[in-house]
Amino acid sequence: MPPKRSASTSIGAPSKRRGIASAATRRVGVAIKDDPSSNENLKQEFIALFSDTQYKHGISNSHLKNIFKGRYSNLPLILNDFIKESRLTMSKVGNELYYNFVDQELASRFAGLDVSARMVYQLIEKSGNKGIWTKEIRIQSNIQQQALNKIFKKLEDRRLIKPIKAITAKAKKLYMLYDLQPAKELTGGPWYSDLEFDHEFVSELRTFVLLCVKKMNGGKGVTLKEIGNKMKEANVSRVQLNFSEVQQLIQTLAFDYMIEQNGMNINGDALFVAARNSSSCCDFKWWEVLDDDFHFRDMRFEDGVVLTKHEPHHHTAS
C-alpha cells in the first residue's frame, strides 16, 4: 500500500507555494509603485518634444515609436489622458497619424467640443494663413450647412477661428485660426484698406519716395535701403513696409518715368535719381520712318540710339 501523506507534508507544501506567491505579489507591488513615476517621466519627455522647432506642426506616430522604442507601449495611456483634457489634437496626413500639443489656455477653449467641431477646427487649422472657404469645409467634413453654421458660431465665440474675406472674392467667406494674420494674397497687403485699393495712401507714399530721390545725397542718387530707412524714420506709413514693398513703390515711379536708375554705389546697390525731362516731340517727320514700300523702319539717332519699328518712343533730353 502507498504510504499515507503526513499532515506536516500536506500543510508544508501549501506554505511554500504561499511564500512564492507572496514574493511575486511584492514584486508586482514594487512595479505598480514605480509606474506613476516612470509614466510621469514619459509624460514630461513627450511634452518636451514639442519645444523642438522641428515638431512645431506636430509629430507623427511612427516618429514617436522610433523615439520611445520599448517604452512606446506605455504612451497610449498618456496620449488618451491628454486627449481627454483637450491638450492634444490629432490629424491624418495620408496614412500617417500626427499629434500636436496644445497649451493650457487653448485647451480650455477646446473643453466640451464634440467630434464634429474638432474636425472643423482641424480643417481650418490645416489651411494656415490662406484660409479655407466655407463651401470647402462643408465638402470635406460632410456636415450639413445648418449644423456647420452652429459649429462656426461656437468656435468663433471661443476665439478659436475667425471669418475673413479676400479681395478676389469679397462676397465669399473664409475661415482661419483666430491668432493668424491673413496672407497678403487675401488682403492685398499694405496697399489695400477694407479690401479696396487705397489710392490716396499710395499717392502719399510715392510723393515721399520722389522727395527722397530728389533731396537725399544732393539728388545724386539714393539706394532702396536708404529710401526704406528714411520712410521708417519719418513714420510716413500707417503700416511697417519691408524693402520689397518699398521697391514696388519705386517701380511704379520708374514706370511713370518719374525716376530712373543711374549706376550703382561702391557696394553694388542701384542708385535712383529723378528722371530727366522728356521733350514733347522728336526732330523727324512721319514719312522719315517709312521705307519705300511704306512699311515702318528702324530709326537711328545722332547719339547712336536706335528706335526699332513699332517701339514706343520716350525721347529724353540730355
Averaged over 185-190, what is the pLDDT? Answer: 84
Q: Are residues 194 and 259 in the same domain?
A: yes
Q: Are residues 39 and 98 in the same domain?
A: yes
CA 292 and chain centroid, separation: 62
Its domain, for residue 131, covers 112-187
Tell me the three cell numbers of residue 169: 472674392
Q: What is the pLDDT of residue 300?
A: 66
Flag the least confident range among 5-9, 104-108, 117-121, 218-222. 5-9
Q: Are residues 270 and 194 in the same domain?
A: yes
Q: Using the CB atoms, write b or e for 19-38: b if 16+ within 10 Å.
A: eeeeeeeeeeeeeeeeeeee
In whole numbers, what is the pLDDT of the chain averaged over residues?
Answer: 79
Q: Are residues 268 and 201 in the same domain?
A: yes
Averaged over 190-217, what is the pLDDT? Answer: 90
pLDDT tens-digit readout, 99-110? 888 877 777 888
Domain assignment present for residue 141? The answer is yes
Last residue of a domain, one of 187, 210, 227: 187
Count: domains in the chain: 3
pTM: 0.52
Last residue of a domain, one of 187, 212, 237: 187
pLDDT tens-digit readout, 265-279? 888 999 999 987 654
Residue type, 307: L
Instruction: Determine the Cα–Cα distance for residues 104 and 92; give it in Å rounded to an integer.
Output: 23
Domain assignment present for residue 175? The answer is yes
Write down the residue that cell numbers 506636430 correspond to. Answer: 58
Q: What is the pLDDT of residue 302?
A: 62
Q: Are residues 218 and 163 in the same domain?
A: no
Asked if 27 contacts 68 with a C-beta cutoff of 8 angstroms, the reply is no
Q: Are residues 161 and 209 in the same domain?
A: no
Domain assignment present for residue 289? The answer is no
Averaged over 279-308, what is the pLDDT? Answer: 57
Helices in 50-182 by DSSP H: which ranges? 61-68, 75-84, 104-110, 115-126, 134-141, 145-157
Instruction: Determine the Cα–Cα distance for residues 133 and 155; give it in Å rounded to an integer.
Output: 16
Q: Are residues 98 and 116 in the same domain?
A: no
What are the angstrom distances between the C-alpha of 99 and each of 102, 104, 107, 137, 234? 10, 16, 14, 21, 47
Q: Would you say residue 227 has pLDDT above 80?
A: yes
Domain assignment present for residue 174? The answer is yes
Averaged over 163-177, what is the pLDDT? Answer: 88
CA angle 264, 270, 272 (to 5 degrees): 105
- How many CA atoms within 13 Å lie on the side-chain side of 315? 15
Instruction: Determine the Cα–Cα distance for residues 125 and 178; give it in Å rounded to an integer.
Output: 10
Q: Are residues 43 and 98 in the same domain?
A: yes
Q: Are residues 171 and 121 in the same domain?
A: yes
Q: What is the pLDDT of residue 11?
A: 36
Domain assignment present for residue 5? The answer is no
Q: Name the more confident of 91 and 164.
A: 164
Averaged over 285-300, what is the pLDDT? Answer: 57
Averaged over 82-97, what is the pLDDT? Answer: 82
Q: Would you say residue 15 has pLDDT above 50?
A: no
CATH number (domain holding residue 219): 1.10.10.10
